[in-house]
Structure 1
Amino acid sequence: MLKRNRQSQYNESVSDKIHRYRGVIMVISIPLVLISFVLFLMPSVRSPNDGILPANRKFSPNYVLQSDPSSNRYAVIFDAGSSGSRVHVFCFDKNLDLVHIGDELELFEQLKPGLSAHATDPKEAADSLLPLLEKAEKVVPKDMRENTPVKVGATAGLRQLGVDASERILQAVKDFLKVKSSLKSNDDWVTVLDGTQEGAYQWVTINYLLKKLGKKYSQTVGVVDLGGGSVQMAYAISEADAAKAPRITSGEDTYVKEMFLMGTKYYLYVHSYLKYGLLAARAEILGVANDSESPCILAGYDGVYTYGGTDYKASASRSGSSMKKCSKEALKALKVNEPTCTHMKCTFGGVWNGGGGDGQKNLFVASFFFDRAAEAGFVDPKSHVAKVRPIDFQKAAELACQTTLEDAKSKYPDVEPANLPYLCMDLVYQYTLLVDGFDLQPQQQITLVKKVKYQNSLVEAAWPLGSAIEAVSAVN
């Protein structure tokens, strides 16, 4: 009985104490409960590999978790050119930075001939893309294919076929993608690029790779892209110069394209010269000779040059090729002084030159310019980027024009046999285009570019990347 009374007195004293200090206990316990609840709700920290850091990796403040691959976006771009078809596959992260696909920053595959070689059989033309499509789809994760845009941009080769033939081929390609592709296709994404689109995409590509986008227009670089059927020039100009651009009667800008890229608005002067790509220009120059012997053909060659379904006599003159005489033919083909320029300043063929300015000062020159420079021996083909001057093309032309076809075979081993008779012509034309056409100084430094280094990798300096950037930006 005494024991039970003592226990009762003890219990009452504890109760009394709890009651007496209940306010203090509440102040302490509420934060502890809240902290425990937050810790319960928080997910545990995981590494990219199944939530566990590798046993042999020591954690350090320099260890950075990889971005969530589910936020990546892919784009598949077909470049249907005049000389062949190519496919590019790019992968971007949420910041629109390129992500590696395997060991490279893009998948690039090509095959010859191009769509235009199947002019009479549209289905055959479309089916020729199948090997490229299969390779492209393999690198896009299955669960992402239905949201990955696939675009087909045909360039000058298809333009030359005419509207009816090109439309039949394009329709066949649209049908082909609907049946054969698991990617996201849209009829509007299968098109013949007009020259301004091609030039604008090329400008976006090179400035993106050089990390110039988002900066002032004066810090960007200008681009000249010499393809087979056309040549494009594009560079950013000031808003004031854009306002002075010549307009057609409807009031639409004919030369300036407005682009909003990485938070910055650019006024892009861009123009495409159809029939003045390297292969098309040969036909224009031979046309000046009017089926007579040409001073631009290497001595010892007597043949026919076919372009756009038309044959041109391509025979060397008895005295052989001559740089001086060939230059006169190239100037006539460019129509530098005709028709009369109606603007403040023109390039050639009466085309406004954009006014020049800071956006044009740093000029990157791509495609056939690099190829011929490498084949002529004044640029290392493995360098991918080279600083040269227009006069270097003139010096190379002078040497080539003094060479016979037979001697050229050993002197220029990297030139394809089909191109060898036209080496003098090609180099003369390239110099004439830069200096007399685009009004560059012969000693002005320009950058020849094949690929651009980006994140310790080399990426093709071609328009498809610019198209891919536009495509992924438009996909929700």
Structure 2
Amino acid sequence: IILQRGNLMKEKNPWHKPVTIIITVIGVIAIVALVTVAVLQNRPLPQKYKYGIVLDAGSSHTALYIYEWPAEKDNNTGRVEQTHSCKVKGPGISSYASAPLKAGESLRACMQEAEQRVPGKRYHETPLYLGATAGMRLLNMENSSASEKVFQAVEEALQKFPFSYQGARILSGQEEGAFGWVTVNYLDDRLEQGLETTGALDLGGASTQISFVSDNYDGSESPSNSVTFRLYGNDYNLYTHSFLCYGKDQVLRMALAHQTQTGPESILDPCFHPGYNATKNYSILYDSPCVSDRKPQRAPVNFTHVGNGNFKQCQNVVKSVFNFTHCNYTHCSFNGIFQPLLQGPFGAFSAYYFVMNFLNLSDTSIPLETVKEKLARYCATPWNQIIQQHPDIKLKYLAEYCFSGTYILTLLTEGYNFTSDSYPNIKFIKKIKGSDAGWTLGYMLNLTNMIPAEAPDSPPLPHAGYVSIVTIMALLLLILFVVSLRPLWPRCSKQPQII
């Protein structure tokens, strides 16, 4: 009997070979390393951010906005968000025409806040812009040298701060409307996803803008109202128009000018509450290019402004500032200005929101006739009762809400042609996803090229899917490795032969 002991031991214990053990360990380490590298490679990195600052120099006040976006993505898919806002104390910079240095000084407090909000290491690369709107447009029309001095004072003040100052200038009405439209649709993710866009309704103190995309408008009729954008690979032909002098403050001047054409010593104004009584100066009322040519001759120094709170009569007064008598186009809004048929939803912001929110009329699901009835009851409320209900609001602003509300409804329905059916398409908004609605974000996005003209590339697989596939492949490699060792497996089927 011959027992092949040596060969039997070799067949039963092939895994004990040092070389085999080393290969197996190395293979396992390689596979673990593969999975580890794949996971680490796809792990989100700590975010670094870039910043931008825009000053909105409006007719009634100036506001500062700070924007932030991921530095790694920049103008790819990085979401630009507003991180801070600061309202400058005092009136708009156009009010400092007689003392321009004060215009620059007024910005200091908010700029110091910006220094605290933006990391110091980002100062030198943070762009700083100032855009002035209708208030400075009017000042530039009235006194261009005064306008230049205000800008000079503002620039000297801003250049003292450590940011990358990019200049201060007056925006055209078309730019203000178009950038407001970009802001609203960018924040609502409508541009990147190629969704139906939202129209933009902006109301300031000295001007108002309407901007929207209409399938019936290709820009051939009234080309001056056309703006073309290519954003995220989609082309947008935008209708936009800005009405200078039709902001709520200047319209109030025009309405009072209509009522004081004969230079009376007293007027009974249906747009102010019953019991309202104030003495006002003719020179101050007509101290604006919007009404300066209408100042009555031989008028007294002052007039008494008395309210009687009648909504329907107030509507007639407001209508007096519009001209509906001529239109040389297929469709017009007012004053002979072309406007295509309204289309899609609209976001109404700035003074639209603040006035309608104060009046508790910002819910557009309420029928239009009900809105008018509620406003009529508000206007008819005695002035002393209004003061008691709102003790914390300055009397000047409080007195004007009846007029402003009436003007907004008249502008939307009589001016822009919203009907009881299309009025619910309007949404009064203050912010979208934490950012203020307005032109400032769109302005910065345009100047920093933060919106790509083409849709950004995206990875073929999401992070989780990529890790899963790598893991499966690693397991497959392990199985193949084990299978490759099959020749070394114990040959259990072969029994030792005894002869």
Bin for the TM-score computed over the shorter chain: 0.7 to 0.9
For the 8 Å contact 1:393–1:427, the answer to whether it is kept is: no
Distance 1:471 1:136, change over 3 A: farther
| 1:131 aligned partner, one-letter code | A
For the 8 Å contact 2:219–2:237, the answer to whether it is kept is: no
For the 8 Å contact 1:343–1:352, the answer to whether it is kept is: yes
Q: Is the aligned partner of 1:321 residue 2:321?
A: no
Find the partner of 1:373 among 356, 368, 376. 356
> C-alpha distance in 1, partners of 2:329/2:89?
41
Where do 1:39-118 residues align within 5 Å? 64-66=43-45, 68-69=47-48, 72-93=49-70, 94=73, 95-98=76-79, 105-113=82-90, 114-118=92-96
> C-alpha distance in 2, partners of 1:394/1:165?
42
> C-alpha distance in 2, partners of 1:409/1:439?
34
Q: CA deviation at 1:141?
A: 2.8
Which residue of structure 2 aligns with residue 221 of structure 1? 198
Alignment size in residue pairs: 397
What 5-or-longer segments of structure 2 have no aligned partner?
Answer: 1-22, 289-300, 453-499
Q: Is the aligned partner of 1:254 residue 2:233?
A: no
Which residue of structure 2 aligns with residue 191 of structure 1? 169
Q: CA deviation at 1:117?
A: 2.7
Q: Is the aligned partner of 1:234 residue 2:211?
A: yes
| 1:234 aligned partner, one-letter code | S
Q: Give RMSD over aligned pairs.
A: 3.3
Q: CA deviation at 1:67?
A: 5.4
> C-alpha distance in 1, partners of 2:408/2:185?
23
For the 8 Å contact 1:279–1:307, the answer to whether it is kept is: no
> C-alpha distance in 1, partners of 2:198/2:380?
36
Q: Is the aligned partner of 1:427 residue 2:405?
A: yes
| 1:466 aligned partner, one-letter code | G
> C-alpha distance in 1, partners of 2:203/2:302?
22
What is the CA deviation profile of residues 44-93 of structure 1, one whole-angstrom value per residue up to 9, with x for unaligned ones?
89989xxxxxxxxxxxxxx9413551xx4321100111222211110122
For the 8 Å contact 1:397–1:424, the answer to whether it is kept is: yes
Distance 1:271 1:243, change over 3 A: closer
Q: CA deviation at 1:474?
A: 6.9
| Larger relative contact order, structure 1 or 2 (CA cutoff 8 Å, min sep 6) | 2
> C-alpha distance in 1, partners of 2:367/2:441?
27
Q: CA deviation at 1:434?
A: 0.6
> C-alpha distance in 1, partners of 2:108/2:66?
15
| 1:470 aligned partner, one-letter code | N
Task: Compare 461-470 and 414-423 and name the one that shifted more.
Answer: 414-423
> C-alpha distance in 1, partners of 2:201/2:258?
25
For the 8 Å contact 1:373–1:393, the answer to whether it is kept is: no
Distance 1:280 1:47, change over 3 A: farther
Identity of aligned residues (%): 26
Distance 1:243 1:429, change over 3 A: closer
> C-alpha distance in 1, partners of 2:285/2:77?
40
Where do 1:77-226 residues align within 5 Å? 77-93=54-70, 94=73, 95-98=76-79, 105-113=82-90, 114-161=92-139, 162=142, 163-178=144-159, 180-186=160-166, 189-216=167-194, 219-226=196-203
Distance 1:308 1:135, change over 3 A: farther
Which residue of structure 2 aligns with residue 450 of structure 1? 430
| 1:270 aligned partner, one-letter code | T
Which residue of structure 2 aligns with residue 345 of structure 1? 331
Where do 1:278-317 residues align within 5 Å? 278-290=248-260, 291=264, 292-303=267-278, 304=280, 306=284, 309=287, 313=303, 315-316=305-306
Which residue of structure 1 aligns with residue 237 of structure 2? 267
Which residue of structure 2 aligns with residue 12 of structure 1? none
What 5-or-longer segments of structure 1 have no aligned partner?
Answer: 1-28, 49-62, 247-252, 380-384
Which residue of structure 2 aligns with residue 356 of structure 1? 341
Q: CA deviation at 1:442?
A: 2.8
Which residue of structure 1 aligns with residue 469 of structure 2? none
Q: CA deviation at 1:422?
A: 2.5
> C-alpha distance in 1, partners of 2:257/2:218?
36
Distance 1:141 1:411, change over 3 A: closer
What is the CA deviation profile of residues 230-289 of structure 1, one whole-angstrom value per residue up to 9, with x for unaligned ones?
111011234x6223321xxxxxx3101112222222111111111111111111111111
What is the CA deviation profile of residues 311-346 of structure 1, one whole-angstrom value per residue up to 9, with x for unaligned ones?
9856225xx2211211111111122x14x1111111
> C-alpha distance in 1, partners of 2:391/2:354?
13
TM-score computed with the length of structure 1 as normaliser: 0.75
